[in-house]
Amino acid sequence: MLKRLASPTLFLFTLAAVTQALEPLTPALDPEAVRRVEDYRRALAMERPRVVLLGNSMLGHGVNEIHFSMRTGVHAIKMWDGGVAAAWNHLMIKNVLAEHPNRPEMVVVFFTDQYLTDATFRVHGQYKPRLDALRRPVEPLLDQLAYQKDRRDALAYLITDLWPLDRKREIVKPGVERFVKHRIGRALEMGGLGEVDAAIDRVFADSNLNVALFSKAQIEAMTAPADDRQDFGTLLNRSFLSSDIAMAQRAGIRLAFVRIKRVTAAEAQQAGRAVQNDYMSRYVADLRTYLESQGSLLLDFTQDPRLRVEHYGQGDHLNEQGRLLFTAMLAEALEGRLPEVRGDDAPFAELAQVREPIILEGPFKENSPGMWSAPLPNWAACSSNPRDTYRSVLELLEDGTPLGPRNAFMSDIRSHGAGRYVHWGGFVYFATSDNSDPNTNGRTYSYRFTLPP
């Protein structure tokens, strides 16, 4: 009898031992993600925005919230994180916006393609810590839709949620694969993990793939509705959308949705190709009908010809020119749909009072070699900040000529200089156009604000 029990005992002991051995790998909450959420809660408390723009880095790079607020007359702030999608939006609405005492009157949700109704998109890997920073201990809808766990499915739930080993999957598997890639990169003397990942991205770039070779399942997943999985009603049932709308309605928040244009759409337009196929057109029409039936609004910019390829910087991110243009387009499209303008509350009205460039008084402090700073305590509220590094509309001039690029990273100002600057907190940090000392080069430095026309 004992002999018969030995193997099962040893088997169970192994499971326990591995679980215990990997226990130290339990990920703590990502401090950066937690800080970002805290920033958003603080912004609601301190700035009391009436409109919140919610989305990923396409929103982050695509809209200037100061310009938007000045154009519309309604104070709006952006809340975004890189690459996030519907699940993050859902948790932000549920756990940050709807429950905050200073909740906004309106939330504008930005999305691309059909990801508004894809609950499983970007919920694993690097995106999971961002969701973990937002989630409550019990999130049945998130678990069911994003992670496809069903608490009624006891075995699945036992394995995937209660057994601590499952929570190591996010660390162990990517960690092992990263280790292998790193070793390959080193062995081939071409750098580390980043270079290997970049090489993989280049080799398997969309332009190198033959769409004709895609399997039926792959094509269906991307394009046509061959069965009910792609049907809008089914997609809706598997998404957070109806829940988000109901939750927002209960909290007295109006929702609007913005479908952003990707650079590929701009390229297709300029090449005379169709921006989207029939399926996506039907999807947008169905989505619009549904949102209108729920009292929400859909703005679809994917076909808008005003956004052209030259308005994009890196990938789908808009550049400075594109950002200003899209901000204007968005403000125009939302005209009459936003909360009413209050006469006594013109956001950033103080900026409009600056009509001529203001001389920046020296002496300038050298924070690190090549990077100088000057205090601007009166304009701290409209500077860029960790929540939005593209926020400031301050323009720095050297002898009356604009320097740039603005909103540069401090590391770039230090290493490259050449006129880069950033308006951060109560200071402007900058490098002169020829990296000379602004205290001794005899030039005059001034600033003004680029205001919407």
Question: Residues in the site for another protein, rule: CB under 8 A?
Answer: 4, 6-15, 17-19, 124, 153, 155-156, 159, 163, 165-166, 168-169, 172-173, 176-177, 180-181, 183-185, 187-188, 190, 195-196, 199-200, 202-204, 208-210, 213-214
The least distance separating another protein from the CB of residue 176, rounded to whole angstroms, comes to: 7
The residue (of 197 and 231) whose beta carbon lies closer to another protein is 197
Q: Are 152 and 146 in contact (CB under 8 A)?
A: no
According to DSSP, the residues that pair with 398 across neighbouring strands are 401, 445
**Rounded Cα–Cα distance for residues 428 and 359 (Å):** 13
The least distance separating another protein from the CB of residue 130, rounded to whole angstroms, comes to: 17
Q: Collapse the DSSP code of 446 into the 3-class scheme (helix H, G, I; strand E, B; otherwise coil) and give the result.
A: strand
The least distance separating another protein from the CB of residue 85, rounded to whole angstroms, comes to: 16
CB-based contacts of 404, cutoff 8 Å, min separation 6: 396, 419, 420, 421
The residue (of 199 and 333) whose beta carbon lies closer to another protein is 199
The least distance separating another protein from the CB of residue 134, rounded to whole angstroms, comes to: 20
The residue (of 11 and 409) whose beta carbon lies closer to another protein is 11
CB count in 10 Å sphere of residue 381: 13
- Which of these, 109, 105, 93, lies nearest to 49 by C-alpha position? 105
Strand order in the sheet with 371-375: 365-368, 371-375, 427-430, 421-424
Q: Collapse the DSSP code of 301 into the 3-class scheme (helix H, G, I; strand E, B; otherwise coil) and give the result.
A: coil
CB-based contacts of 433, cutoff 8 Å, min separation 6: 398, 401, 403, 418, 419
Environment class of 173 (CB within 10 Å of its CB; exposed 0-12, middle 13-18, buried 19+): exposed
The residue (of 212 and 356) whose beta carbon lies closer to another protein is 212
The least distance separating another protein from the CB of residue 81, rounded to whole angstroms, comes to: 21
**Rounded Cα–Cα distance for residues 261 and 277 (Å):** 15
**Torsion 153-156-158-161 (CA) sign:** negative
- Per-residue CA distances from 122 to 56, 127, 286 (Å): 11, 6, 23
The least distance separating another protein from the CB of residue 243, rounded to whole angstroms, comes to: 23
- Per-residue CA distances from 90 to 52, 98, 107, 110, 213 (Å): 14, 10, 12, 12, 36
The least distance separating another protein from the CB of residue 197, rounded to whole angstroms, comes to: 9
- Which of these, 327, 332, 427, lies nearest to 78 by C-alpha position? 327
Q: Are 109 and 256 in contact (CB under 8 A)?
A: yes
The residue (of 170 and 286) whose beta carbon lies closer to another protein is 170
The least distance separating another protein from the CB of residue 198, rounded to whole angstroms, comes to: 9
**Torsion 141-147-153-154 (CA) sign:** negative
The least distance separating another protein from the CB of residue 14, rounded to whole angstroms, comes to: 3
The least distance separating another protein from the CB of residue 177, rounded to whole angstroms, comes to: 7
